[in-house]
Structures are given as C-alpha cells and as structure tokens.
Amino acid sequence: MIRALLSIGLLQFLSMLLLLARTKIIALALGPEGVGVIATIDRVTAVIAQTLSLSLPFAALRFLPAAHRQSPDEAEVLYRRMRNVAVALLVAASLVCVGITAVAPQVWGTALTSYQGALILAFAALPVIGLVAFMTNGFAAMAGHGSSMRFTVANSAVFVFAAGTAAAFGVAGFYGAYALLGTALVVAAIVKLHDPGARKVRHASSLAQLFKLPRDVWRFAIWLFPLTFVAPYAAFYVQYSTLRLYGAGTAGILVGAIGIGLSVRTLLGASHAIFLTPNVNRQANSAERMGWANEYQRHIVVIFIAALPPVLLFSDVELAVLYSPRFIAAAPFVALFVATEVITLLSGSYQALVLADNRVRFHVAQNITAQILTVAIAALAIPRLGLAGAGVAVMAAPVFMFGSTLWYLRRQFEVRPTREAAHMCWLTLAMLLVCGTIGSMFPGMTVANLAAKAGACIAVWLVAFAAMPAEDRARVRRSLDSARVHGLALIARRGRLA
C-alpha cells in the first residue's frame, strides 16, 4: 500500500508544482486583487458545475469499480451513459449561465458586475470544470489510479497555460484560455477512456437509451443533490463575504492562506478518491472496510507527519515563494486552513465506509448540517474577526464531520478505529496544534527565526517518531532503509555508467 501511495504522491506532487506555477504567475501578474477575483468567480462556477453534475463524479467511484469487477463490458455501458448525462447537463447549464450573465450580471453578486466578460468566459468553461472531475474519477474506476493521475497532471498543465494568458489579457484571458484548452483536454480524455475492445457493448436503440442510468445511480444522485449545492455554496459564501466586506485585496490574501491548505490536500489527498474509495467499495462487509480504512489511515498519517511540520512552520516563506511577498500577511491564518484540510482527510478515510454501505441519507444530512454550520459561523465571525473568522468557519465543518462519522459507524455497524489508528490521528492533531501555533505566532524570515523553526521542525519529527505505535515505527524504518538501498544502488549505477 505504501508504494501505491508514494506513486500517487509523486504524480500529485508534479500536479501540485504545475498548479503552484499557475498561482505564482497569476499572483505576480494580477496581485492579491486579481487572485481574489479569480477565486470568487471559481466559487461561482463550482456551485453551478457541482450542483448540475448530479454527483456523477462521486457515483463513478461508487458504482463503476464494482461493475467493472463483475463485467467490464457492462461497466463500459454504465460509464458512457453517466458521461452522456453529465455532458448534456453541463452544456445546457453553460448556455443558460452565459445568457444570464450577458443580460443581468448582477445576478451573481454586485461585487462581480464589473467582471462581466470574465464571468461569461468562465461559464463557457463550465462543461470543462464539471467533466474534469467526472473523468478523473472515471479513469480511477476504469483504468486505475495511474491513468487518473496522469489526466490530473495534464489538467494542471492546462491551468499553467491559462495563467500565462492571464498575464497578458487579465482575468478574462485566464478563463478564455481554460475554456479552449480544457475542452481539447476533455475531448482527448473521452477518446482515451473509450474502450474499443468492449466486444459485447449493446448499442443504444433510442436516444433515451444513451442517458438511461440504473435506478441505484439515480437514487444516489438524487440523495446527494442537495449536498452538491450546499457544499460549494458554503465555500462561495466565505469567499464572497470577504470580497464584499474587505475588498478584492483582502479576498486575495484569504486565497493565499487557503491555497497553502489546498496544496496539502492536492499533495496528500489524491489517494482518498482514486485509491481509498475504490478499494473500500471492493470489500465485502463493514468489518473488512473498517480494517482497510484503519490500515490506510495509519499509512497516510505517516506521510502527514513527514510533510506537515515544515508546511506549518514556514508558512511565511511559502507564501512569498508560491505567491509573492505581498501575500505574507496571510501567514497568521495558514494554520487554520491547513488544519481544515488535514481533518477533512482524516475524516474522509472513514466517511468512505458510510457511502460504501449505501447510507446516503445519513451522509447527505451530515454534510448539509456541516455546511450550514460553516455558513452560520461565517456570517457571525467574518464581520467581527476577519480572516481568522473565515478560518474558524471552514474548520467547523470537518471537525463536525469527523466526530459524527465515528459516532455513526460505532452505532450502526459496531466498528471503530483501532487503538493504533486512533493514536496516529491524535498524534496528527497534536502536531497541527504545536506547529501551527509556532508558525502563526512567530512569522518572519530572519536567519535566527528560520534557524529556530528548523530546530522545532526536527524536534517535532523526532517526538512524533518516538510517539508512534511500534509497528508504525518499524514500517518507517523499513521504508527509510529501502529508500537508502535504492539510493545507493542508483548512485552506484550512475557511477558505473560514468
């Protein structure tokens, strides 16, 4: 498992580097104001794309792996029909939204009316935005995590080209380039994932057959429909409230803090969707699924422990490098958003069990409650606490999700995390608290400050290693020994070639 996670991590790291290049180009070319506007428009398009995709990206992970195991040909039929439904809905939504924006741009908020051209081009890219999520999960379910990650890397490369266009033509140029290049990428992915060797695939006898999905898929989509709106709307509410109350510059600073957290999710969270969820859905019962999730959690926390201390301790350096020195003002708030993403990932390891057992009703109610909690706290906290209030608001959702998920699994299935898995989770939370506090309270890039933080980072690593369960310490030692052996072999091989 650790080898699969590392291979996913390497490709995700490449994707993250490309996304960071995109962010850097936009930050240098457009400043915090441009970054804030793009982030807010992204939230608007996410609300629409995720709502009208009818949870089909999630359904692809839920239904395609099991269908592929039973009959690859039937899985091919199901994939095509899910894709057809997604395309039809997203293209129709794109046309409607472009029309509304051309006539009444104030519908999307008065703070965005001066960006009418950019909004029109962003809505032209709606099919790309929705289908990238679906195709990523389609590749994971039908062709494996490697193909899915390669598609993710290609999409990140498209973002870099779009950012280069933004440097020349502004916010509108970014969305125009993404609409064109993204469409080409999605079409190529559809062609790639089409299986010409599906020998017995039944051809549709009517137009309706092209869109006919099993009742279980529709039931899954209908139950998740409220969630597909509420979740992106909560993120939009936080971003738009900051833009409206404090201006585009402060909204851009918020994006900087959020961006460090999203980098953590991008690098460390890809395996949840394309590795954890398909494998959990292949297990026969709740006990086996919990066993698989516990083992996954222990492996992923080891990677958290290695990656998170420098991210939290050197957030000011990261903001200056990834964005520009103008974004260092976000450093005191980074820990809140990194903690949000990490707790989301810890919780997600066990939320997969809820969906794997078709407990969609609870999953939807749980997520809607979490997002309502975020909006309610944001409405109270952002006007009073500014960016700190935004951080507290978004962190409330995963904390609620984690606690309620574990409670539900224990009550309904009589399963719970093992002592070792729980121990690793608590270790992660303690590390978030210690490193986040130090990084937030002691910003600055003097030599003495950086040296002190480096010492704190090493100390946290040593304490975390000593505090791990014995089996996890042994696993880390084996991984380090294996890396050392491979490294020495590589050096020796290069020496012989020289």
Is residue 491 within 8 A of residue 14, CB to CB? The reply is no
Mean pLDDT confidence for 276-304: 80
At 401-420, the pLDDT tens digits run 999 999 999 998 888 899 99
Does the pLDDT of residue 198 top 60, yes or no?
Answer: no
Is residue 217 within 8 A of residue 59, CB to CB? The reply is yes
C-alpha count within 13 angstroms, C-beta hemisphere, residue 484: 6
**Mean pLDDT computed over every residue of the chain:** 86
Q: How far apart are CA 493 and CA 404, in angstroms?
A: 52
Residue of 255, 225, 277, 265 whose CA lies nearest to 60: 277
Does the pLDDT of residue 202 top 70, yes or no?
Answer: no
Does the pLDDT of residue 195 top 80, yes or no?
Answer: no
Mean pLDDT confidence for 447-476: 91
Q: Assign residue 212 a region: left if phi > 0, alpha if psi is -120 to 50, beta otherwise?
A: beta
Residue-level pLDDT at 166: 92
Sign of the CA dihedral 265, 268, 274, 275? negative
Mean pLDDT confidence for 471-489: 82
Counting residues of the chain whose pLDDT is more than 70, the rounded percentage is 92
Q: How far apart are CA 121 and CA 177, in angstroms?
A: 9
At 112-163, the pLDDT tens digits run 888 999 999 999 999 999 999 888 888 877 777 778 888 889 999 999 999 9
CB neighbour list of residue 133: distance below 8 Å, 6 or more residues apart: 49, 50, 53, 57
For 129-147, give the DSSP string: HHHHHHHHHHHHHHT-HHH
Mean pLDDT confidence for 39-49: 91
At 341-373, the pLDDT tens digits run 999 999 988 988 887 777 878 888 899 999 999
- Domain residue ranges in the chain: 2-195+210-476
Per-residue pLDDT band for 206 (boundaries 50, 70, 90) equals: low
Residue-level pLDDT at 283: 62
Residue 478, CA distances (Å) to 292, 303, 471, 482, 484 in order:
21, 14, 11, 6, 10
For residue 100, how many other CB atoms are within 10 A of its CB? Answer: 15
For 271-325, give the DSSP string: HIIIIIHHHHHTSSSHHHHHHHHHHHHHHHHHHHHHHHHHHHHTHHHHHHHHT-G
CB neighbour list of residue 277: distance below 8 Å, 6 or more residues apart: 61, 62, 352, 355, 356
235, with CB counted inside 10 A (0-12, 13-18, 19+), is buried
Residue of 472, 458, 474, 480 whose CA lies nearest to 427: 472
Does the pLDDT of residue 490 top 80, yes or no?
Answer: no
pTM of the predicted protein model? 0.75
Residue-level pLDDT at 201: 47
Mean pLDDT confidence for 48-76: 80
Does the pLDDT of residue 265 top 50, yes or no?
Answer: yes
